[in-house]
Amino acid sequence: MKAFYINQYGKSSGSIGELPEPKVGANDVLVQIHATSINPLDLKIRTGEFKQILPYTFPLILGNDFAGVVVHVGSDVRMFRPGDEVYARPEQDRIGTFAELISVNQHSLALKPRNVSMEQAASLPLVALTAWQVLVETAQVKKGQKVLIHAGSGGVGSFAIQLAKHLGAFVATTTSTSNVEWVKALGADIVIDYKKQDFETVLNDYDVVLNGLDSAVLKKSVKCLKPGGLLVSISGPPTPEFGDAQGLSWPVKQILRLLSFGIRKASHAVGVKYSFVFMRANGAQLKEITSLVESGAITPVIDKVYPFASIADALTYVEQGRSKGKVVITVA
């Protein structure tokens, strides 16, 4: 099968070539990929940023989102059958959606929303599950709470704004001048143009902050929270609790303890909690998201669509950090 893969870590690593088709275990589903999408996580994996906590082997097919059609199921699969249109974020140790085929555990899959295209469906899994696991699972956002979502025009941000509004929250977000009206249209109640205002001087008494930006923004975000509030980062630094959940070695967990010490201390000093969320595959949660998409509560947001042959160009575009929503790759 054709795939985009790397043989070593590096900023410009990767090429399209032929690799063996994936093996299908008893609980696995083999899917012909029709579309995939690019996430900042793909860029970080390509450069080796997560090699201490995600020890991949080469050749490594990149890609963390897909939508496609089931072509074969394992002997113990009861949830899907050939011909089903599905979408998913595969398990973190089985990534590889920049390819014609992928084998995933049946519990990572969900039926594709019926009212969207393959390209739209492929834009959803990682960002949708990230927003769900932050706002619903970790923060347990309730109606009337105040939520700050950084980078509202990005993939996670554009979905998280819609989800937070669906949950009944009052939503603030940050973005650049050119995207202010655009994120308002997604449902944001307050939009901070970071080129003109310092968000930490304007926003206060928030219940939850979702941060996917750098450590400077993370530190400033503490000032926006009320006592007892929750600061959630999806960009790090990881916490010792994350190390425990991942089953990482004692030395690596100590590194995480040191990396997160500053933000944990700053949060504790003002009576708020810091949490790191590393999104995981979850077909049951994705099924909930399917219902939201089919009801019209959530709309996929796509910036550009590239053909598979231009995947390197698509990665370069995402690396520039200017995309509004997701960048999608058509495969089949």
CATH number at residue 208: 3.40.50.720
**Residue 39 included in any domain:** yes
* Rounded-to-integer distance, Cα 146 and Cα 169, Å: 6
Last residue of one domain, picked from the residues 261, 276, 291: 276
Residue 93, SS3? helix
**Residue 294 included in any domain:** no
Provide the pLDDT for residue 186. 96
**Residue 117 included in any domain:** yes
**Residue 176 included in any domain:** yes
Q: Which domain holds residue 140?
A: 126-276
* Rounded-to-integer distance, Cα 107 and Cα 112, Å: 14
Q: Which of 118, 103, 119, 117 is nearest to 3 (CA)?
A: 103
Q: Which of 65, 66, 56, 64 is nearest to 6 (CA)?
A: 56
Ordered per-residue pLDDT tens for the chain, 332 residues: 999 999 999 999 999 999 999 999 999 999 999 999 999 999 999 999 888 888 899 999 999 999 999 999 999 999 999 999 999 999 999 999 999 999 999 999 999 999 999 999 999 999 999 999 999 999 999 999 999 999 999 999 999 999 999 999 999 999 999 999 999 999 999 999 999 999 999 999 999 999 999 999 999 999 999 999 999 999 989 999 998 988 888 998 899 999 999 999 999 999 999 999 999 999 999 999 999 999 999 999 999 999 999 999 999 999 998 889 999 999 98
Domain count, the chain: 2
Task: Mark whether 140 and 272 lie in a shared domain.
Answer: yes
**Residue 289 included in any domain:** no
Task: Mark whether 130 and 119 lie in a shared domain.
Answer: no
Residue 175, SS3? strand
The enclosing H or E element of 66 equals: strand 66-73
* Rounded-to-integer distance, Cα 135 and Cα 171, Å: 12
Dump pLDDT digits (tens) for 57-98.
999 999 999 999 999 999 999 999 999 999 999 999 999 999
Task: Mark whether 140 and 227 lie in a shared domain.
Answer: yes
Provide the pLDDT for residue 263. 97
Provide the pLDDT for residue 53. 80
**Residue 285 included in any domain:** no
Task: Mark whether 182 and 94 lie in a shared domain.
Answer: no
Q: Where are the alpha helices (DSSP H) in 211-295?
A: 215-221, 240-246, 250-269, 283-295
Instruction: Provide φ and ψ at 100, rounded to 5°.
Output: -80, -25
**Residue 290 included in any domain:** no
240 prior amide bond cis, ω within 30: no
Q: Give how far the C-alpha of residue 141 lies from the chain's centroid of Cα atoms, to the nearest Å.
A: 18
**Residue 29 included in any domain:** yes
Task: Mark whether 114 and 130 lie in a shared domain.
Answer: no
By residue count, the chain amounts to 332
Task: Mark whether 182 and 78 lie in a shared domain.
Answer: no
Task: Mark whether 254 and 170 lie in a shared domain.
Answer: yes
Task: Mark whether 142 and 271 lie in a shared domain.
Answer: yes
Structure tokens that stand for 217 in this block = 């923004």
DSSP 283-295: HHHHHHHHHHHHH
Task: Mark whether 143 and 212 lie in a shared domain.
Answer: yes
Task: Mark whether 162 and 41 lie in a shared domain.
Answer: no
Residue 274, SS3? strand
User: Which domain CATH number covers 101?
Assistant: 3.90.180.10
CA atoms within 13 A on the CB side of 186: 35
Task: Mark whether 311 and 260 lie in a shared domain.
Answer: no
* Rounded-to-integer distance, Cα 108 and Cα 285, Å: 9
Task: Mark whether 222 and 271 lie in a shared domain.
Answer: yes
β partners of residue 35: 67, 330
